[in-house]
Amino acid sequence: MKHIRAYIELLKPRILTMQFISVSLGYLMAGGQTFPGFPTWGIAIIGTALVSGGAAAWNHAIEWRQDALMERTHNRPIPSGLISPLAGVIYGTTLCASGIAILALFVNPLCSFLAMLTALLYVVVYTPLKKLTWLNTFVGAIPGAIPPLGGWAAATGNLSIGAWSLFLILFIWQLPHFFAIAWMYKDDYAKAGFKMLSVEDPTGRRTVFQILVFTVILIIVSLWPVSLGLLHRVYALGALIGGLLFLKTGVTFAKTRSRQEARQVLKGSVYYLPALFLLMAIDAFLFIH
């Protein structure tokens, strides 16, 4: 039972949950019918989850030595000895290959390609880049923002400008989210040798700048789907209010630069995104379906 839980942990279930929501939102916003279109939507979810989980397992296997040095990750399955790095690689490869094949065979080639691209960017580019430059955060936000594109592609077989508006929202959201995390665990990242902005920014000024600037940009880009006619005024009002509340956490962090206030930025981001997605889903059901 312990090993089963360990293999589940390798999948990074919280990220899988976000993948599920993001793919579903992209599918819904593209006009896809969850019922009776459940087979396509459901298969897209399953295939994407397999690829995402496989990439997460690869990440665990690659970074297990660094994870062993950090307080918040030293109990993960591989550094704790429950699973070997080789088993993690085999597990991740099997999941990725299965997911890519399922999406190619039962959804469409574009959806499969986007899932494969997500895994490659995450494992081959982002993961090693964390040891080279703090700009890894921007690179890592790309695979994190691709899932709604996959959902859109599953519904339509193409990517219109509406799909890219969802990509941009999710891309920008990740920046204040992860800069806050990096500030909270800057000592851990330093011990592991990761080149995070917080490690190179002892005063916190650059971190504050990134969080505030990208939260403001997030408020702006969250309204882009409205200008495209994809979403409507009720969503716009909710997005604006939510964005301003999120920005408030960043302003408070700017004053103290404390770990506690960085956690409030993190909490604000965690509340903001599901609320925004819920507004999108309600709007889509009211006006698209």
What confidence score (pLDDT) does residue 32 get? 61
154 lies in the same domain as 166: no
Residues of the domain holding 205: 160-289
Q: What is the pLDDT along the chain (289 residues), one digit of tens a residue?
A: 667 888 999 999 988 888 889 999 999 888 765 544 568 889 999 999 999 999 999 999 999 999 898 888 889 999 998 999 999 999 999 999 999 999 999 999 999 999 999 999 999 999 999 999 999 999 999 999 999 999 999 999 999 999 999 999 999 999 999 999 999 999 999 999 999 999 999 999 999 999 999 999 999 999 999 999 888 888 999 999 999 999 999 999 999 999 999 999 999 999 999 999 999 888 877 765 5
Residues 65 and 169 grouped into a single domain: no
The secondary structure element, H or E, covering residue 46 is helix 38-62
The pLDDT assigned to 9 comes to 92
Provide the terminal-to-terminal Cα distance of the chain, rounded to the nearest Å: 44
Statement to judge: residues 63 and 27 lie in one domain: yes
Task: Single out the residue in 121, 142, 158 at which a domain terminates.
Answer: 158
Looking at the fold, whether 113 and 213 belong to one and the same domain comes out as: no
- Same domain flag for 14 and 148: yes
28 and 46 both lie in a single domain: yes
CA distances from residue 135 to 71, 121, 127 in whole angstroms, order as listed:
23, 14, 12
Is residue 79 within 8 Å of 64, Cβ to Cβ? Answer: yes
Distance in angstroms (rounded) separating the CA atoms of residues 181 and 280: 26
Give which of 72, 53, 73, 165 is closest to 115, Cα–Cα. Answer: 53
Asked which of 137, 158, 179 is the last residue of a domain, the reply is 158
CA-closest candidate to residue 147, choices 172, 119, 128: 119
Encode burial over 242-253: b for 16+ CB neighbours within 10 A, e otherwise: bbeebbebbeeb
**Are 138 and 201 contained in the same domain?**
no
Question: Model pTM?
Answer: 0.93
Q: What is the CATH number of the domain that holds 4?
A: 1.10.357.140
- When divided into structural domains, the chain yields a total of 2
- Do 9 and 62 fall within a single domain? yes
Same domain, 53 and 148: yes
144 and 13 in a single domain? The answer is: yes
Given 134, 158, 182, the domain boundary residue is: 158
190 and 213 share one domain? yes
In this structure, the answer to whether residues 131 and 204 fall within a common structural domain is no
